[in-house]
Amino acid sequence: MTLLEGPIGVEDLVLLEPLEEESMLKNLQLRYENKEIYTYIGNVLVSVNPYQQLPIYGPEFITKYQECTFYELKPHIYALANVAYQSLKFRDRDQCILITGESGAGKTEASKLVMSYVAAVCGKGEQVNSVKEQLLQSNPVLEAFGNAKTIRNNNSSRFGKYMDIEFDFKGSPLGGVITNYLLEKSRVVKQLKGERNFHIFYQLLAGADAQLLAALKLERDTGGYAYLNREVSRVDGMDDASNFKSVQSAMTVIGFSEEEIRWVLEVTALVLKLGNVKLSDEFQANGIPASGISDARGVREIGEMMGLDSKELERALCSRTMATAKEKVVTALNVVQAQYARDALAKNIYSRLFNWIVNRINESIKVGIGEKKKVMGVLDIYGFEILEDNSFEQFVINYCNEKLQQVFIELTLKEEQEEYKREGIPWKKVDYFDNGIICNLIEHNQRGILAMLDEECLRPGVVSDSTFLAKLNQLFSKHSHYESKVTQNAQRQYDHTMGLSCFRICHYAGKVTYNVTSFIDKNNDLLFRDLSQAMWKAKHPLLRSLFPEGDPKQASLKRPPTAGAQFKSSVAILMKNLYSKNPNYIRCIKPNEHQQRGQFSRELVATQARYLGLLENVRVRRAGYAFRQGYKPFLERYRLLSRSTWPRWNGGDREGVEKILGELSACTSEEVTFGKTKIFIKSPKTLFYLEEQRRLRIQQLATLIQKIYRGWRCRTHYQQMRKSQILISSWFRGTMQKKRYGKMKSSVLLIQAFVRGWKARKDYRKYFRSGAALTLSSFIYKSLAQKFLLGLKNNLPSTSILDKKWPAAPYKCFTTANQELQRLYHQWKCKKFRDQLSPKQVEVLREKLCASELFKDKKAAYPPSVPVPFRGDYIGLRGNPKLQKLTGREEGPVLMAETVRKVNRGNGKTSSRILLLTKGHVILTDSKKSQAKTVIGLESVAGVSVTSFQDGLFCLHLSEISSVGSKGDFLLVSEHVVELLTRMYRAVLDTTQRQLPITVAEQFSVKFKESNVTVKVTKGPRGNGNGKLSCKKKGSHGLEVTV
């Protein structure tokens, strides 16, 4: 930001006046519409998703924020990442960055930006770069297996992620640890309308090659899989095939072997194929409903791919073994139960595969045990959720957000208290809403909702969601943050929005109504032991390792921990981790539901602001002093407000600040407090007053600077012009005098030269004869010419017409004569050579010359024909009297006789013919019967078309007025096409006194009775144009010839 550039709205909401929800929304909208998506709440960053690429990222901005303090530049995610990294590097304090917000708010992109910033500013080196690359490449792998398209977001994270990045004492990354929370595994078997399954399924089907798909026994069409939403298979702006290649590359960079990548893809394919296992109704002998596999192919393919016994898998899907201490009882499952078991198996396989991938990444990026390290944690986790139908997933998500809010309030107040203590300012107790009562309602070990849910899942007898709700109603009937239909009736309240199977919790962000349906099933998260044992028996190494409980040696009748207990334990560990680090917060907000740039929905943003507790954050930050800053930067910014400190102050920083505030009437002792190193301002109005005074003072100083600058510029300009004028005039006068002197000097020298010449000629004229110079020059020139001609006589080249050597002229004056002599000598050699030739040799050369004029640089078959003499007879005509009779005596000798192939214009097939060329006709005869089938007068030949390739295809175009021409043109193939067409050209010229038009082209038209056929000649796959011809009919008016 420049000195005179004002901020858009309020950059820090702590300074917002008045502090209301409406003014906060108005400020966020104003900044968003001006593409300012980041706003501070103290050290908390609020980020509004722009749904477009903004030019505020990259190396240039990273360098800018790396060199500045937190509040020195505009709010930016780089500023927060820089504060966290600098605190970790120089103050040796472990950091954590908490990124929260609902789906589509930009949490995943925010975590990427934080990691890219840290990767850019930390150390360099081969090992460091390798670690950074592994950390960055973990993102596309986790996104592929953990992200999906939802109604709200095309790339929504369906799991919570906490990554600890570990650094050495120099601030260079050593490695990291990733922890995942609550993968939405129910998405594997069912998606809402308009949503997709996890990305990896679509990426695998779109990006895998045919060989890989065949090995995985998959088909590319997504519509063939029951677990994939057939309505939505593609996402705008997302290339699944390209992303699949990126995921494979990222897994290789992280350290996955090719075998491990293949294992992962095989288990992924197994999940898809499980969804296509069809179950049908069956009945046992006693009439009890059972189930069976209607199509054994799917189970058989799974067995082949995983090394499973297909009958063992079918038994595990369609029955259940109940084990007691004394016996085992096998119970058949009906279709509904079998489908539940199949879906539970698919969800468990995918969930365990995802956990295995996270653990495998951790193995690659883990740090050695003995190394001392600093830690920066990045938490990317789901925000507070209130849906139309809230179930068990929303309950645990909102419980996690309650804990994060508790951490935020406690750590923020603790940080405030520590800062006040450091600065020697008395701490006053701050009134705020403590959500510990809500956390206790959910997580209490004996009387919490999660404890009651576990108790209900474990107790014997009939257990259902309704009995669980009844227990909650009984236990929390008088709790101030718990409501249900029963508690409302007891208090004589009527609420039509509360269902009979629902309860409501008053969270810090608002009231949320939960439907208890499926709470018991989702908390149990049971997988029948038969399925675990079947998976453990697989020969597939990865699948077998995912189900260690299936090993009979490790079989235990002990019930596994519930999903709620596992999540509560994970949250407790996460909270312990966060309390041990210095927190940094990023609150992500989604501006509209349609993912459209520039749209800002106030209702939607207001709801998210309440969920995120933004106003609560501001109130906590403003509980004491709204603004605090070190004396030095404060003095640097506001020293221009006092004449004592401006333009130069030689005293201490605190004394300078006291001097400034003492001269301003609005800064009373109630509004301002002086700490040891910082100045504290209570009300934002006081800060705004300082900023306004500073703005006015800057305008005054700017005017003063402009006035002084303009005066200095005018004086300087005048002095420069005066000096320039004096310099120009002096140079001009000197130049004029120099020119005048130069002219006088040259004139004197010229007169002197003429006088000296005249005197010399007068003195020496008597010693020279008139015309002696011309006589001498003529004699010298004749001598040189004689010497040149005699030397040329003795060095003449050989009389061979191919020898083009010629001696060079000794002097330039003989160059033209030398060239003319060379031309005359060459013509004499050519005449001497022609005089030695016989008439037959002359005729042969004339034919070759004609062929050169017709085909040189036009047809590829010409160069090979040059050294080969033209024979004319290629069929032994002298030994065949029948063919000799066909020509007739009056025709004279046969100019050309050879076997050609005639191309049928109707179907492209060829047939053999004998072609005889005489001085007046072209005769085509049957090669077997020796009878004339077609006789064409040369006057009827209108032209010839031939290709530029090294083939023998040519077309005889006949005039329409001839009897033969009415049938159409002839398409022929000759092995001696250059010789044949050369002799035909000369015969037509001799007979009709006209030149035969020969066209060289790859496409030409052939007349066929009343229609035209377009012949198109192309090179075949081998591409040389000299192979066999292949003719193929293309419609009724096209013939394609492949050479």
Active site residue 730: no
Helices 839-855 and 977-992 cross at an angle (nearest 10°) of: 110
Phi first, then psi, for residue 63 (nearest 5°) are -65, -40
Catalytic residue among 153, 268, 887, 982: 153
Q: Decide if 383 is catalytic.
A: yes
Pairing of strands 173-181, 279-283: unpaired
Active-site entry in 43, 82, 103, 111: 103
| Total count of residues recorded for the chain | 1043
Q: What are phi and psi of 547, to 5 degrees?
A: -125, 65
| Rounded distance between C-alpha atoms, residue 1042 and residue 1030, angstroms | 5
Identify whether 207 is a catalytic site residue: no
Select which of 108, 147, 473, 683 is catalytic.
108
Q: At what angle do helices 199-207 and 240-254 cross, to 10 degrees?
A: 100
Report whether 935 contacts 923 (CB < 8 A). yes
Integer Rg of the chain from CA: 49
- Give per-residue burial for 667-685: e unless 16+ CB within 10 Å, then b: beeebbbbbeebbbbbbbe
Return the structure tokens found at 128. Answer: 């460091």
Q: Are 482 and 467 in contact (CB under 8 A)?
A: no
The sign of the CA dihedral 205, 207, 209, 211 is: negative
**Distance of alpha carbon 75 from its chain centroid, rounded?**
28
d(CA 79, CA 59): 14
Q: Where are the alpha helices (DSSP H) in 14-158?
A: 21-33, 59-66, 77-90, 107-121, 126-146
Judge whether 153 counts as a catalytic residue.
yes
In this structure, what are the phi and psi dihedrals at residue 588, rounded to the nearest 5 degrees? Answer: -95, 135
Cα separation, 916 vs 922, in Å, equals 6
Instruction: Given the residues 116, 150, 156, 925, select the one marked as catalytic.
Output: 156
Is 237 an active-site residue?
no
Catalytic residue among 176, 383, 550, 968: 383
Q: Which of 157, 513, 532, 584 is catalytic?
A: 157
Grouping H, G, I as helix, E, B as strand and the rest as coil, residue 551 is coil
108 is catalytic: yes
Q: What are phi and psi of 1039, to 5 degrees?
A: -135, 120
Concerning whether 734 is annotated as a catalytic residue, the answer is no
Q: What is the spatial distance between Cα 520 and Cα 522, in angstroms, rounded to a whole number?
A: 6
CA 803/CA 239 separation, integer angstroms: 69
**Amino acid at position 785, single letter:** A
> CB–CB of 270/305 below 8 Å?
yes
Helix or strand run (H / E) with residue 1025: none
Catalytic residue among 104, 207, 550, 675: 104
* Spatial contact of 77 and 650, defined as CB atoms under 8 Å apart: no
Catalytic-residue membership of 103: yes
Strands (DSSP E) contained in 474-592 are 482-484, 502-507, 510-515, 582-589
**Residues belonging to the active site:** 103-104, 108, 153, 156-157, 383, 385
